[in-house]
Amino acid sequence: MLRVADTLSVAAAEARMIGGEVLPVAGWGRGVGNTAITQRAPAGPVLAITPFNAPANLLAHKLAASFAAGNTTIVKPPPQAPAVSTALVELLLEAGIPVEAVQVLHGGGDVGAALCAAPEIAVVSFTGGVAAGHAVARAAGPKRVMLELGGNAATIVCEDADVAAAALACARTGYSNSGQSCISVQRVYVHRSRFEEFAEELTAQVKGLAVGDPLDSGTDVGSMVDDDAAERVVRWTAEAAAQGARVTTGGTRDGSVMAPTVVVAPPAEAKVVREEVFGALVAVLPYDGFDEVIEECNRSSYGLQAGLFTHDVRRIVTAWRELEVGGLIVNGSSNFRLDHVPFGGVKDSGIGRESPRWMIEDFTVTKTLMLKGLTIWGDE
C-alpha cells in the first residue's frame, strides 16, 4: 500500500500542473487582433476496469488521475480480487473524496460490457488480457479507450554483461507475483558465447527461490490465480520439452502453485516463446548477432517492455530505437516500473500510457476560447 500512497501523491502533484496555453495566433494574418486560449477540461465519467494481479496500485493510477482531472469514476474490480478495490475506495471516502467522485460496481464480463457500451461513459481505461481488451474496445465503440494489455517480455543479455547479475535479476523478476505480470521476464535472449553459463546460473538461482504461502514475507513464489492457470503453464512446459527444449527445473505444480520453471532453448514456434505465459516460467534462448536478436524480440505480437544487459552505448541506443516496445530497461530486466514514468506498449500490448500525468491527458479534453477583436499581441 506504500506504492499506492506514492501513486496518489504523484497524481495530487500532477493535478496542480493541469493548465492550458495562450496561442500566438497573430503569427498568421487572419489571427491578427484576436486571442486564443486553451484549457484542459474534464472529459466526463471514466470507467476503470482493473485486473487481479495488481488490483490496488493499478486502480490508484486510474482513479487518482481521473479525480485529478475532475471526473467521476466508476470502478469495476476484478472478480478474482474484489476486496482490495473495495477497501481502497473505502479508504479514499474516509479520507474525504466526495462520494459523487467514485462508485464501485462488481461483476463479470457482462457487467463490464454493459458499462463500456453505456452512452454516459466518456472514457474507458482497461488493464487486462488481450482478448478481453479487444472485447472492451468493441463494446465501447467511438469512445476514448485506453488499453494496457499483455506481453511476453524479452530481456537481452549481451556478451559483455555481468552474467551472474543478469541471472539474479531475471530470477527475482521473472517469478515475482508467480510471473503474473504483463512485464514479467519471459524470454531471455543470451549471446551464444555466454548462453550455457547464463542458463546454469539462472537455474541455480531459481532453484533457490522459496515457494510457499504468498502472505509469508520469506516466500519468493506463491500461488497463481487458480489451478487452471497453473495447469496451463505445466502443459506449455511439456509441449516445449516435446519440441526439443530442456527443462532444467520446475515444470510441475501443486494445486495452483507452479514450481518456478526454466525452459532452455525452446524453438521459436513454442507457446512459451510466442504466447504470453503469465506464470512462473522463463525461457532462455541463444542468439549470435545483435541485429538478429532485435528481430527475434520483434517477432512477438506484443510490445510492452524489454530489458537489456550491456555496457555498450551504441547497442543501448540501437535497441531503444529498433525494439518495438513502449519501454526499455537498461542493465535491468523487463520487469521494472516507476509510477510517475509513462508506461504502456505497442502492437497487442495496448493503446495509451499509464501514470498520472499521461492519464490525465487522456481523461481531459482541450477546450478553446477565441476572443475576437481582443488581443494581447497588438493590432499589427
Environment class of residue 156 by beta-carbon count within 10 Å: exposed (0-12), middle (13-18) or buried (19+)?
A: buried
108: exposed, middle or buried (Cβ count in 10 Å: 0-12, 13-18, 19+)? exposed
Active-site position among 148, 201, 276, 354: 148
Count the Cβ atoms, other than its own, within 10 Å of residue 195.
Answer: 21
Distance of CA 267 to CAs 174, 214, 272, 295, Å? 20, 33, 9, 15
- Could you tell me which of 112, 70, 73, 76 has the C-alpha nearest to residue 93? 73
Residues sharing a CB contact under 8 Å with residue 116, sequence separation 6 or more, in sequence order: 47, 124, 136, 139, 140, 143
Q: Which residues contact 354 (CB under 8 A, 6 or more apart)?
A: 58, 61, 127, 146, 148, 342, 343, 344
Q: Does 276 participate in catalysis according to the annotation?
A: no
Buried b / exposed e along 10-24 (16+ C-beta atoms within 10 A): bbeebbeebeeeeee
Alpha carbons 107 and 321: distance in angstroms, whole number: 42
**For residue 4, which phi and psi values (nearest 5 degrees)?**
-60, -45
Residue 364 contacts residue 318 (beta carbons within 8 Å): no
d(CA 142, CA 61): 23
Positions annotated as catalytic residues are 148
